[in-house]
Amino acid sequence: MQDIHPKHNKVFEVISKAGEEVGQDVYVVGGYVRDFYLNRTKEEKNLDIDFVTVGSGIKLARKVADLLGTDRLSVFKQFGTAHIRYRAMDLEFVGARKESYRRDSRKPIVEDGTLQDDQLRRDFTINALSWSLNRETYGQLIDPFGGIQDLKKQLIRTPVDPLTTFDDDPLRMMRAIRFATQLQFDIAKKTYRAIEEMAERIEIISKERIIEELNKIVMAPKPSVGFAHLFKTGLLHHFFPEMVKLHGVSEVRGVRHKDNFWHTLKVLDNVAEMGGDLWLRWAAIMHDIAKPATQKFVKGTGWTFHGHDAVGAQWVKRIFRRLGLPLDERMRYVRKMVRLHLRPIALVSDEVTDSAIRRLIYEAGDDIDDLMTLCRADITSKNDYKVQQYNRNFDYVEQKIEEVEKKDRMRKWKNPITGDEIMEALNIRPGPVIGDIKDAIKEAILDGDIPNEHDAAFEFMMDIKDQYID
């Protein structure tokens, strides 16, 4: 292991010494070893490193913490594991285990085992690699299933029969696709066929575990790869049927519309290329989600999806709840992006009014830049001329947004007149009329009838007060 960064090797030597002192063999296992051979460990600032010992993981971890001189030790007796945070490393210790499963649960029956037992329970050959940290075999690679060859072939494959692997723990089907997407690997044919055959077993997995893997796919450099696998294997059908319904093309009198499933994946990839975070990517996934429900063929016009933006926005909360996504400001952000995603292109006109731009900025707020990113990502035409034209249109809209924002300051708009000021100036009590007057002031500012200033708003209020007060 002479190629490992010295700061990692020093820790390994301490753990080797700890294992010797407590009389337990110890091994580095899993993702760290895999990533070392993919040349990814040297660049990581925060490393998760897993260790398996033949014996008590807690006992070994306590000795390691003592030798490292750290008190940042967490013990989880229920699971027989321990964790040490040391510098930029998260060190996880567990005793070697063998597992067996019941068909109606992914929770294994766990017993003490050997290193071989522990490697047999690993999900994929590339995750079953390990290094010995024992004195006589220090640094020796243990690769019983050909994981190194699979790394070279860029292949995701299970160490045992994939039907058994996925039957034991169906979440591994999601993990296979997640690793294939993140690492840009292929999935072995036999493994892929097993996912297709076992797809319905994903229904015994909790939504929390599924969404954890799905979000990692969403955050991959090219997330469409993972979603294509999820669709083709049938997994997606079991937890995200609304997205599956986007697939397909209808035809009436020779007129067809684009396949909205593959369009959505292209938009998602475009957002990923533009550096979009998790929630802007979810906005891309959801932006056309209601097209199947709003699809109509209109003679002389063709296919329409009128109102899919509004309907899709209404669906966001329900879908987020079912998938186990948060129902807080992140959900509201996605809902807003879906609701507004058609608005900027509708403003493309030499005659577009400042009022329309003002209303868009008011509704989008600080998320206006993200909205424009989503709109540009929504350009998926293969016609270069059309793409250039759309981008020129969006350049124009962005220019207008900048001009209006500089003049009217609408991004973080607050009504220049407060409710208390209205009550004091007009000598009225709290009630619905306060909101009515504030709405009238807001509409006057958005329409450009008055500037976004306190004095102008106050004067406007005094002019209209008789319409609201008897």
* pLDDT (average), residues 305-315: 93
pLDDT score for 110: 52
Give pLDDT, residue 104: 55
pLDDT value for 223: 98
Separation of CA 184 from chain center: 17
Which amino acid is located at 200 in the chain? E
Q: What is the pLDDT of residue 2?
A: 46
- Per the CB < 8 A criterion, the answer to whether 139 and 148 are in contact is no
Give which of 330, 352, 334 is closest to 343, Cα–Cα: 352
Tell me, what's the pLDDT at 141? Answer: 93
Sequence-ordered alpha helix ranges (H) in 105-200:
115-120, 147-153, 162-168, 171-183, 189-198
Of 9 and 329, which is predicted with more confidence?
Answer: 329
pTM beyond 0.95, yes or no: no
Alpha helices, H only, 184-206: 189-198
- The pLDDT value given to residue 263: 95
Segment 242-248 shows an average pLDDT of 94
pLDDT-derived band of residue 232, with 50, 70 and 90 as boundaries? very high
Q: Specify the pairing of strand 155-156 against strand 109-112.
A: unpaired
- Return the number of other C-beta atoms located less than 10 Å from residue 391's C-beta: 12
Q: Which amino acid is at 438?
A: K
pLDDT level of residue 1 (50, 70, 90 thresholds): very low
Q: 335: which strand partners? A: none
DSSP 381: -
Question: According to the model, what pLDDT value does residue 96 have?
Answer: 85
How far is 435 from 36, CA to CA, in rounded Å? 62
| Percent above pLDDT 70 for the chain | 93
Q: What is the pLDDT of residue 282?
A: 98
Position 99 confidence tier, pLDDT thresholds 50, 70, 90 = low
* Lowest pLDDT segment from 143-157, 259-273, 331-345, 374-388: 374-388
List, for residues 438-454, the tens digit of each pLDDT value. 999 988 988 888 888 89
Q: What is the DSSP string of 401-463?
A: HHHHHHHH--TT---SS-HHHHHHHHT--SSHHHHHHHHHHHHHHHHTSS-SSHHHHHHHHHH
Mean pLDDT confidence for 278-301: 92
What does DSSP say about strands 155-156 and 186-187: parallel, antiparallel, or unpaired?
parallel
Nearest-5° Cα angle at 165, 160 to 167: 145
Structural domains present in the chain: 6-149 (3.30.460.10), 419-467 (no CATH)
Q: Using one digit for the tens of pLDDT, what is the confidence trace for 168-201?
A: 899 999 999 999 999 999 999 999 999 999 999 9
Instruction: State yes or no: pLDDT of 105 exceeds 70.
Output: no
pLDDT in the model for residue 328? 95
Which value, to the nearest 10 degrees, does the dihedral of the CA atoms of residues 272, 274, 278, 284 take? -70
- Spatial distance between the Cα atoms of 290 and 311, rounded to a whole number of angstroms: 6
CA-to-CA distance for 208 and 213, rounded, in angstroms?
A: 9
| Residue 11 pLDDT greater than 70, yes or no | yes
- Using the structure block, give the residue that is written with the tokens 């490193």: 49
Total number of residues shown for the chain: 470
Would the pLDDT of 70 be above 80?
yes
Percentage of the residues of the chain whose pLDDT score is greater than 90: 59
Placement of tokens 């900025």 in the chain:
361
* Mean pLDDT taken over the chain: 89
HSE toward the beta carbon, residue 160, CA cutoff 13 A: 16
318 band by pLDDT with thresholds 50, 70 and 90? very high
Does the pLDDT value for residue 260 go beyond 90? yes
- Stated as kind and residue range, the H or E segment containing 387 is helix 384-408
**CA–CA dist 440, 417 (Å, integer):** 11
Q: Does residue 130 come out as left (phi exceeding 0), alpha (psi in the -120 to 50 range) or beta?
A: beta
At 371-414, the pLDDT tens digits run 999 999 998 878 888 888 888 888 888 888 888 887 778 777 88
